[in-house]
Amino acid sequence: MAMPVLATKLFIPRLRPGAVPRPRLVERLREGLQSGRKLTLISAPAGFGKTTLLSEWIADAQRRDPGVRVGWLSLDESDNDPSRFLTYLVGALQRADPGIGSEALPLPLPSFEPALTALINDVARSPQEIILVLDDFQLIEEETIRDALVFLLDHLPSNLHLAIASRSDPLLPVARLRAGGELTELRAADLRFTPDEAAAFLNRMVDLELSADDVAALEARTEGWIAGLQLAALSMRERSDVSGFIQGFTGSNRFVIDYLAEEVLQRQPDHVREFLLRTAILDRLSGPLCDAVTGQKGSSEVLESLERGNLFVVSLDDRRHWYRYHHLFADVLRARLLRDRPDRVAHLHSLASEWHERNNLPEDAVTHALAAGDFGRAARVIEGAIPAIRKSRQDATLLRWLTLLPKDVIDRRPVLGVYRAWSSLASGDVEAVEPRLRVAEKALAATTDDGTPAHDSAAGDELRMLPVTIAVYRAAVAQARGDVAGTREQAQRALDLTEPDDHLGRGAAAGFFGLAAWATGDLKAGVRAFGEARTSLRLAGNLADVLGTTLVLADMLVPLGRLREAQRSFEQALQLAAEQGEPPPQSTADLHVGISELLREQGELPTAVEHLAASEALGEHASSHENRHRWFVAMARIRQAEGDFDAALGLLSTAERLYLRGFFPEVRPIAAMKARIWIAQGRLAEALAWVNDQGLSAADDLTYLREFGHITLARLLIAQHWSDLQKGSIHEALGLLNRLLEAAEAGHRVGSANEILVLQALAHAAQGHTPLALQSLERVLVRAEPEGYVRLFTDEGAPMAVLLQAAAARGIAPNYVGRLSRTFVHGEGATIQPIPEALSERELHVLRLLATELSGPQIARELYVSLNTLRTHTRHIFGKLEVNSRPAAVLRAEALGLIQHLV
Amino acid sequence: MSERNPMPCGHGRLDRYEIRLQGQLDESWSDWFEGFTLANESDGTTTLTGPVTDQAALHGLLRRVGNLGVTLISVNVLRSRQP
């Protein structure tokens, strides 16, 4: 079963020939559109001609400007499912411009905002002037959807105008829009027929000249209510005693609708009246459906004649296929049905449910089964529709149904029971999952005396794979709780239970297995598991997930120091994506971002930027939500490499806003990256505040999940050493780095170890221990060369440039070091030039003291000068040596032979 | 009326409501209004009286009233009305 988009909901109702033109109202709507107001709101009870007026206005707008495009969405109660609402919203806008949201929106939506932003951008890019109509808005009660519309109104592109028709005032910031002059508003008082309009309407409908008094009496009795006048007209048609009718009607106290509907119904032939009553339960009517519900043939003809006779039947398409009753009339008919045939209602719903099920319309089939009180039937249809619902991610619909089914019906159906557990997981109620899984498991295991299953779930793939699904959900619960061992255990169980050809099950299990390994820092096991997951997903034909898995693999290969392998898997994945043709599969844009990060590391900044541009050009649709922040991280690191720290910080802040906590461990927190930039900028107080906020200390137990944070802390400690030569911080740094190195080596994380070794080298150099520094540097150079690392070194700036120079002088990895030195941007000391201005004796003295571990105040005391004077000296020294830090000055001085190194 | 006794007929904590509408509606609409009793008053209004499960049910009922294009005059809660 599929969950189709019903074209009838997007149909723009045609203006009925013979409708009374309402130029005074159309003029007001036109004015609102022309003056660029954001919202048109038509708020009035049923039967005031809201939809008809909108149709007239739109026909008028398009007559005046054929370029105006219209998206129309007739809402119903099921549109309270945010995913469903968004699907139809996109559908409606696509009627206006097919280019809008043409690629599948990634679902489910953690929040409406990213999807809406993409949609708003699409609309803004469209050359069309678009009117978006939301009819029957009173049915929307879901807060998420109202929030989405507020967001849309706040960011409304200038070429989009929103029109809402509602029976009650919508909970939108109407007052604010009204005060800001951004609202065109028509209410019941505006919509009532004036006496002139009433006269024109009645005479047109009834085909006989009513006296002015008669018209006035009818107008007064109905208070200009159009539905009332229409019913009155229907009652007078072909009636000999019109005056008698008017007298009776105007003299009665009964509700207008009650009185008139009775009149109209009484005047219908028996078979039509019967037809109206029986089909009153239907939200949408078609000939075949009505045949099924009434048990008669010829319903199509009846519907057509009802439409011709103006009997409150509204056409929902151009083909005379689908209709609906006017809401008001439907209410009257349903009330009559309840009164006259209370015992038949359930049966009629059952017939409707059967028809919808036969015709692959599961949603209506379920709704009618529930209305019939036939929960068993509803449960069966829901179970059958689960794969389609999950595919279209209409989670809210499924959730609502599950809440409507009695508990014992679900308890007897393990398939539904497992999805009830999943619904708890999806809504974040982790605690509720396990008890529900147990109930389902028990039902699954129960058998009758003769050994057949005692549950109600139908045999099929869903049921057969249920034990795997249960284990996968348990793994997800464990993952959500941070229970690594539990995740691993359940993932293993799922893997053991899968059949060889259950690729999706195997893929999911291997994925959770990999996640558990990832979180513990056992990246080799993680890579293995995700490699298997990727293979399974490819066999299952799930391309988008294959590409997504490639990113995860690369995320683990990089800390393992396997850059080349990561690059190859990106290239293969991009090839795979390219073979799919247009539109590019989801995640394609993310692959470009991933490869860009590798190229940046290898010093290929222009190519890295090209890939980011390619990613951007593919658009957000080719990127998944949880990866959207990566583009900004990658661009930030390029800016950082270019030395534009402020731009990098801005990009990282954007990345932070876009970051979504998914299943993946946060091994490279964006905030830590910001702290690293602050450190490079010398904004140590801010970096320290972050470290304290995270509760990081050099004495912590080390875990992989905090490795990036701890390395950041080591960077801060080294920088603190230089800033005020705080006694001890460098020792703290070295101690932490030693332990980090040990942990990284134990986990085979060569990539992590590389960075740690670089910092170790810099820390030794900071202490003036050049040989120790070179030892660390040599270790990392040997391992980094084959993988093509560049920025690992050059991002460290001058201190590293000087250290590399020292390495070159000692013949360490000469080719690689030479290549690295050349990539330093100008001014970072790629080559050692003789300094233009010689240092004074006093400055040389200061320089020698700078090469010791003495702090600034200690040096000042040694020289018998104030701290300020010392700073003046160091500033002059830095200027002459063309460096900007103490370690760089010392290394430079050593390289120039100005000072002897003391080990 | 008595303030002492809880509601009769085992309605438990259900509140009874009295909804007054402009115009007259006959008893046949009772089912449509979820089993509320309809009474036509001498001043040309109709009173709907009945139990309401919760506020959501009350709002649903008022929506049904609104959908019929009927003018709502008053809504009163009758917490402990004795027959």
Tell me the per-residue pLDDT of A689-701, one tens digit each, with 9 for 90 and over.
Answer: 999 999 999 889 9
Question: Does the pLDDT value for residue A830 go beyond 50?
Answer: no
Query: Same domain, yes or no, for A767 and A860?
Result: no
Could you tell me if A199 and A170 lie in one domain?
no
Question: Would you state the pLDDT for residue A185?
Answer: 94
- Kind of pairing between the strands at A285-286 and A322-325: antiparallel
Within-domain flag for A784: yes
Q: Which residue of B has its CA nearest to A227?
A: B69
Domain coordinates in residue numbering, chain B: 15-78
Same domain, residue pair A81 and A209: no
Domain co-membership, A257 together with A281: no
Do A302 and A187 lie in a common domain?
A: no
pLDDT band at A111 (very low <50, low <70, confident <90, very high): low
Q: Is the Cβ pair A258, B44 closer than 8 Å?
A: no
ipTM at complex level: 0.71
Cβ burial of A549 (10 Å; 0-12, 13-18, 19+) is: buried
Q: Which of B31, B44, B68 sits opposite A257 (nearest CB)?
A: B68
Please report which confidence band the pLDDT of residue B13 belongs to, taking 50, 70 and 90 as the band edges. Answer: low
Q: Is residue A404 part of a domain?
A: no
Phi-psi region of A429 (alpha: psi -120 to 50; beta: other; left: phi over 0): beta
Closest CA of chain A from B40, distance in Å: 10
Kindly determine whether residue B32 and residue A257, on different chains, have CB atoms separated by under 8 Å.
Answer: no
B15 touches chain A (CB under 8 A): no
Pick the more confident residue, A895 or B53: B53
| A101 and A212 together in one domain | no
Q: Is B2 at the interface with chain A, CB within 8 A? A: no
Per the CB < 8 A criterion, the answer to whether A348 and A281 are in contact is yes
CATH architecture of structural domain B15-78: 2-Layer Sandwich (3.30)
Q: Suggest the residue from B24, B47, B59, B68 to mutate for an interface test with chain A (most A CBs closer than 10 A).
A: B68
Residue A828 above 80 pLDDT? Answer: no
Look at residue A798 and tell me if it is in a domain: yes
> Do A461 and A498 touch, CB atoms closer than 8 A?
no
Task: Pick B23's closest partner by Cβ from A167, A227, A254.
Answer: A254
- Shared domain check, A20 and A146: yes
Q: What is the DSSP letter of A769?
A: -
Handedness of CA A401, A404, A405, A407 (dihedral sign): positive
Specify whether the CB–CB gap between A371 and A281 falls below 8 A.
yes
Whether the pLDDT of residue A903 is over 50: the answer is no
Clarify whether residues A28 and A138 are in a common domain.
yes
Residues A324 and A303 in one domain: yes
The rounded distance, in Å, linking the Cα atoms of B74 and A834 is 96
Q: What is the pLDDT of residue A469?
A: 87
Question: What's the pLDDT score for residue A829?
Answer: 39
DSSP A580-603: T-SSPPTTHHHHHHHHHHHHHHTT
Are residues A72 and A179 located together in one domain of the fold?
Answer: yes
Q: Is A422 a residue whose pLDDT tops 60?
A: yes
Q: Is the pLDDT of residue A264 over 60?
A: yes
SS3 B24: strand
How long is chain A?
903
The partner residue sitting opposite B69, judged by closest CB among A47, A138, A339, is: A47
How many A-B residue pairs are in contact by the CB < 8 A criterion? 65
Domain boundary among A128, A160, A191: A191
Q: What is the CA radius of gyration of chain A?
A: 37
At A573-599, the pLDDT tens digits run 988 888 877 777 778 889 999 999 999
- Measured CA to CA, the distance from residue A759 to residue A230 in angstroms comes to 84
A544/B11: higher pLDDT: A544
B44: closest CA of chain A, how far (Å): 6
Could you say which of A314, A342, A370 is where a domain stops?
A: A342
Q: Is the pLDDT of residue B10 over 50?
A: no
Measured between CA atoms, the residue of chain A closest to residue B68 is A328
Give the model confidence (pLDDT) of A788-798 as tens digits.
999 999 888 88
B55 touches chain A (CB under 8 A): no
Q: Does B44 touch chain A (CB under 8 A)?
A: yes
Q: Which range marks the domain in which residue A860 is found?
A: 841-895
Total tally of structural domains belonging to chain A: 5
Cβ atoms < 10 Å from Cβ of A342: 10
In a domain? residue A322:
yes
- Between the CA of residue A887 and those of A603, A698, A850, A866, what are the distances in Å? 24, 22, 8, 22
pLDDT at A42: 95
pLDDT for A472-511, tens place per residue? 889 888 887 878 888 888 888 888 888 877 787 788 888 8
Half-sphere CA count of A160, side-chain side, radius 13 A:
25
Pair A705, A787 in one domain: yes
Beta partners for residue A165, in sequence order: A42
Q: Which pair of tokens denotes residue A232?
A: 């009155």
| Residue from A141, A221, A258 whose CB has the most chain B CBs within 10 Å, to mutate | A258
Boundary-marking domain end, from A302, A319, A342: A342
What's the confidence (pLDDT) of residue A837? 66
Nearest-Cα distance to chain B for A49, in Å, is: 13
Query: Would you state the pLDDT for residue A102?
Result: 58
Residue B69 contacts A, CB cutoff 8 Å: yes
From residue A76, alpha-carbon distances to A52, A93, A134 in Å are 18, 18, 11
B26 close contact with A: CB closer than 8 A: yes
- Residues of A with a Cβ under 8 Å from any B Cβ are 45-47, 138, 167-168, 225, 227-228, 252-258, 327-328, 331-332, 334-336, 338-339, 342
Confidence band (pLDDT; 50, 70, 90) for A393? low
Domain presence at residue A359: no
Name the pLDDT band for A258 (thresholds 50, 70, 90): confident
Q: Cα A626 to the chain's mean position, in Å?
A: 8
Helix A814-823 vs helix A770-784: angle between axes, to the nearest 10 degrees?
A: 90
Identify whether A24 is part of a domain: yes
In a shared domain, residues A205 and A84: no
Q: What is the mean pLDDT of residues A402-424?
A: 89
Task: Give the whole-number percent of chain A exceeding pLDDT 90.
Answer: 35
Q: Locate the chain B residue with the closest alpha carbon to A326.
A: B67
Q: Is residue A652 part of a domain?
A: no
Q: Give residue-wise pLDDT tens across range A722-776.
A: 776 556 788 899 999 999 999 999 999 999 999 999 999 999 988 888 889 999 9
Sort out which chain B residues have CB atoms less than 8 A from A253's CB and list them. 23-24, 40, 44
Percent of all residues in chain A with a pLDDT value above 70, rounded to a whole number:
94
Residue A306 lies in a domain: yes
- For residues A810-814, give the mean pLDDT: 85
The per-residue pLDDT for range A605-646, each reduced to its tens digit, is 889 999 998 888 887 767 777 778 899 999 999 999 888 899
Find the helix or strand (DSSP H, E) in which A163 lies: strand A160-166
Given a contact cutoff of 8 angstroms between Cβ atoms, the answer to whether A11 and A74 are in contact is yes
B31, A227: Cβ pair inside 8 Å? no
Query: What's the average model confidence in pLDDT over A542-552?
Result: 82
Sort out which chain A residues have CB atoms less than 8 A from B65's CB and list them.
none
What tens digit of pLDDT does each residue of A563-572 get? 999 999 999 8
* Cα of A762 vs its chain's centroid, Å: 42
Token pair of A793 as six digits: 């070194």
